[in-house]
Chains A and B, each alone.
Chain A
Amino acid sequence: MTHTTTLDTVARPSVQAPAPEQRSRARWLRRVPGWVVVTLLMIAVVYPLFWLLTGSFKTQNEFLNNPTWALPEDWTNLDNYIEAFTTGNLGTYIKNSVLATLPALFFTIVFGVAAGFALEVMVWKGRGTVLLLFLAGIMVPGQMILLPLFTIYFQTGLTGSLWPLIITYTAIGLPLTVFMMATFFRGVPREIFEAATLDGASIYRQFWSIGFPMVKNAIFTVALVQFFFIWNDLLIALTFTNRDDLRTIQVGLLNFTGQFGQVQYGPTFAAVCVNVFGTLVIYLFLNQRVMKGMTAGAVKG
């Protein structure tokens, strides 16, 4: 773009330019449609979320009698939130989500990083095949493994705890983690590991003191991406939580309207708000990494 501007300035004196104010006005008018598009885009993205927030402060009466875009009469009315956490068990759901997500995330990352190292840095026959085997897992729909897993967890007595979720999330997260980690290890110059070998470093030491620190940033990015995948999952959580007190936040939210009966809008809005704005807090600080990681995971296709 910089080239264009320099060209413009060079070209300007030779061409008889129209009066400056007329020029700038024409340019300004030309930009109007673009700004309209951007404004509409902003409204389309932000307004639903803002409307959700206003809804979480409204009483049942306001829902029924005021127009839908009316602002809440009392912005400090936290009754809906209290209701969501007491009658709605939102606290239990959040706790379950944390208890299922964090261990699964830990195992996926530890196993995935080690496997990525073994598949990319180490030299052995058949590593290409194993990498392909992991890759195949990205394509397989979750429905294909659901029923056997249900049987396994049922037979081994794991049903009734959060272990089915942790185990399944770990396995489902592995293909993408292994693939992304292998890609990142590929970016580390091979000479480093060869030199370390000549210096007498054992393979574990190379993994821990060289490989690991060099991809530390990448690991964080992958972990962030996996966090959102696991946290937002519905299929696995819905299948393997058979009791109300095991439900994750997504499953709990799905049954929320049922618990209050259809007409209780307020607490549902409050619960959705907690879910949405909890994510917003993470996104506020780490958005650039989230965007980079998520799109990096897609380019694999």
Chain B
Amino acid sequence: MNRVLGDWRAVTTLLGPALLVYTLVMLVPIFWSLGYTVFEGNPIIGFTYVGWDNIAALFTDPKVADALVFTIKYAVVLTIGQVLVGYLLSLLYVFWLKKASGLIRTLVFFPVVLPTVAVALLFQALFAIAPQIGPVNSLLNLVGIDSIDWFASGATAFWVIVIMDIWRSMGFYAVLLYAGLVDIPEELFESARIDGASGWRLVRHIVIPLSLPVLFSSIIFSINGTLKVFDSVLALTNGGPGNTTTPLTLYMYQTSFTYGEYGYGSSIALLLTILCLLVTLFIFRSSRRDLTKG
């Protein structure tokens, strides 16, 4: 049996290409990038050894602090936003629309597959003030509020990014959480109803506790993605005005390609990777603890 299913030559042939490409294009560059952190320069002008200077600079550079704060703020706000909206939608699907939810589920999911750049350009126009007053400002005018120049300040631009990304992703989280809710055995609702639970009490004491596992994996998935936000910010605000909406990913990109500082860029990338790693480890540890508790 194992002579065939454990044939080393076959393993090499089947696994080889994938492992080779993966190693050369992902694993090797990860360590290569680590090596860059002790250099200054880029492949065109050459590299000079600077030791720990780049890493040390991370701690004193106010732009890194700003970018780190923005990244975390965005990840927290968006994770709460998209999982919450997605959860409310999934409750709507399961308890309100029931069997009729198919079409609406499909429709709300559609923005998920749309190219981020296209969505960002659309939202730029939706929130525009010039040359034409966009629909959002027109709506505000209608209820008597003056037009807001959404992209003129970091605070308002941040909310446009958040609104856009929730619009883009709510259908995804709704379907993800819907799948979790559908898996809850019908009998549990039944017995709770017979015991007199209904509406909000049913949701709080039956639905939420039972959907915790899938809520939890949604949150993990969301944090993992939102820490790496790049496309939406680049296409919508390009980090501006100033650097008020610049996450670590974009700051790394600008440092490396606008200013040609590969060493410092790699250091920022390392900071980002460590952040992702820490969050992943933290989540896995806390989830394991919960599991042992019962």
CB-CB < 8 A to B19: which residues of A?
A: 115, 130
Q: Report the count of interface residues on A (CB-CB < 8 A).
A: 107
Would B118 and A253 count as touching, CB distance under 8 A?
A: yes
Interface bits A147-184 vs B (CB < 8 Å: 1, else 0):
11111101100000000000110111011001000000
Would B113 and A290 count as touching, CB distance under 8 A?
A: yes
Q: Is B202 an interface residue (CB 8 A)?
A: no
- Tell me the complex Cα distance, A149–B262, Å: 12
Chain B positions 19-49 with a Cβ under 8 Å from a chain A Cβ:
19, 21-22, 24-30, 32-33, 36, 43-44
Given the known inter-chain contacts A122-B5, A175-B22, please indicate yes or no for A272 contacting B138, CB distance below 8 A: no
CB-CB < 8 A to A68: which residues of B?
A: 132-135, 138
Would A115 and B172 count as touching, CB distance under 8 A?
A: no
CB-CB < 8 A to A228: which residues of B?
A: 113
CB-CB < 8 A to A29: which residues of B?
A: none
- Tell me the complex Cα distance, A174–B24, Å: 12
Q: Is B76 an interface residue (CB 8 A)?
A: no
The A-B contact count (CB < 8 A) is 284
Q: Is A145 an interface residue (CB 8 A)?
A: yes
Would A64 and B1 count as touching, CB distance under 8 A?
A: no
Q: Taking the nearest CB of chain A, how far is it from the CB of B173, in angstroms?
A: 9
CB-CB < 8 A to B273: which residues of A?
A: 140-141, 143-144
Nearest A residue to B89, CB-CB: A41
Chain A interface, DSSP helix/strand/loop, else mixed:
helix
Would A178 and B256 count as touching, CB distance under 8 A?
A: no
Given the known inter-chain contacts A45-B108, A117-B14, A167-B25, please indicate yes or no for A145 contacting B122, CB distance below 8 A: no
Given the known inter-chain contacts A114-B17, A235-B231, A253-B117, please indicate yes or no for A147 contacting B269, CB distance below 8 A: yes
Chain B positions 145-173 with a Cβ under 8 Å from a chain A Cβ:
167, 171-172
Interface bits A122-149 vs B (CB < 8 Å: 1, else 0):
1110000010011001011111111111
Q: Which residues of B contact A (CB under 8 A)?
A: 1-2, 4-8, 10-11, 13-15, 17-19, 21-22, 24-30, 32-33, 36, 43-44, 89, 92, 96-99, 104-118, 121-123, 125-126, 131-135, 138, 167, 171-172, 175-176, 179, 186, 190, 193, 217-218, 220-221, 224, 227-228, 230-231, 234-235, 249, 252-253, 256-257, 262, 265-266, 268-270, 272-273, 276-277, 280
